[in-house]
Amino acid sequence: MLSGSIAGARKIVKADFLSTVADEFNSSPSTYKLATLDASNKVDSSQWPASAFSYQGTWAASSNTPTLANGTGTAGYTYYASDAGSVNFGAGAISFTAGDAVVYDGSIWQKVPDVANILDGKGTVDEGKTTLQIPDVGTAANEVPVNGMLNSGAYLDFDAFYETGTWTPTITFGGGSTGITYSAQEGTYTRIGDTVHLAGIAHVSGLGSATGTARVSGLPYTTAAFSPTGSYQTVPVLAFDATGLTSALIGLFEDSQPDIILYQTGSSGGSAASHSNFTTSTSIRFSGTYQIA
């Protein structure tokens, strides 16, 4: 039952009849009426009083204008279509079915979406995004760009940005490694963006037949092409059981190569170390940082 004078929309239960509501009903039964239920077993919206929620009345969608059954609209109230139709609210035609709602703010009418069923029947993420008008991230038309926020590219690839791993240092002479054997080869690295921090150990047990400039090869990433010319990134090297050295070894990352050239210094400056400075028990340890291509 509904009260149109005392408490707005009100359900009367047995307990109410045993209290003051019974007295109210008996004293003025004309203020109460039995509510009619609609097909969904709910109170017919046309019987709601104006004070119930924000409902104010009904309007005919087929009239192509928000003309109300009870006159002009009241700002802030909701109105329900009494039938189906297509209405032009100034922003193009909007289709309605009976029971659809609109809200009037005093000057503009807007359709109220059925939030409970807004994704009904949408079986994929893309269908849901279309319904909710969620754009894709990217650089194409109607996509949300993030260029500038992440320097370059439409997204940040964390796998490419940060990485850790192991690598195997090898010794080469004049670019060759024929017959060289080891009792230990270990290397680790961490890549952050275009910078690699590495460490390694190589313990030679056999020199083989290769000759020429000594290098540590097999770096996890190829070095950058340095400008103007020549590498400027060096790495200290600790050597054990070497021979004929004029100074401690120092490594120079070779341009655009996965190699470190080994040098020693003398009275006239630096010179490349070679196979002649290694023995069958030479061990080198090193760590350093370089930029990659």
- Same domain membership, residue 185 and residue 282: yes
Judged on CB neighbours under 10 Å (0-12, 13-18, 19+), 118 is exposed
Tokens of 144: 């949300």
pLDDT tens-digit series, residues 198-247: 999 999 999 999 999 999 999 999 998 876 666 678 999 999 999 999 99
Residue 38 lies in a domain: yes
For residue 176, is pLDDT > 90? yes
Q: What is the domain extent for residue 71?
A: 54-115
pLDDT value at residue 99: 75
Can you give the pTM of this predicted structure?
A: 0.48
Query: 3-state DSSP call for residue 162?
Result: strand
What's the structural domain count of the chain? 3
Residue 26 lies in a domain: yes
pLDDT value at residue 52: 45
- Same domain membership, residue 67 and residue 35: no
Judged on CB neighbours under 10 Å (0-12, 13-18, 19+), 14 is exposed
pLDDT value at residue 53: 46
For residue 290, is pLDDT > 90? yes
- Same domain membership, residue 269 and residue 172: yes
Of the residues 71, 90, 115, the one at which a domain ends: 115
- Same domain membership, residue 282 and residue 173: yes
- Same domain membership, residue 69 and residue 13: no
More confident call, 19 vs 102: 102
Residue 285 lies in a domain: yes
Q: Among 53-57, 104-108, 133-137, 215-219, which is the least confidently predicted range?
A: 53-57
Select from 184, 244, 183 the least CA-distant residue to 214: 244
pLDDT value at residue 201: 98
pLDDT value at residue 214: 97
Residue 126 lies in a domain: no
Residue 145 lies in a domain: no
State the average pLDDT over residues 244-267.
93
- Same domain membership, residue 273 and residue 237: yes
Residue 100 lies in a domain: yes
pLDDT value at residue 66: 56
Residue 137 lies in a domain: no
- Same domain membership, residue 72 and residue 44: no
- Same domain membership, residue 61 and residue 12: no
pLDDT tens-digit series, residues 138-174: 666 666 665 544 444 445 566 667 899 999 999 999 9
pLDDT tens-digit series, residues 42-87: 666 566 554 444 555 676 777 655 555 444 556 666 777 778 877 7
Residue 218 lies in a domain: yes
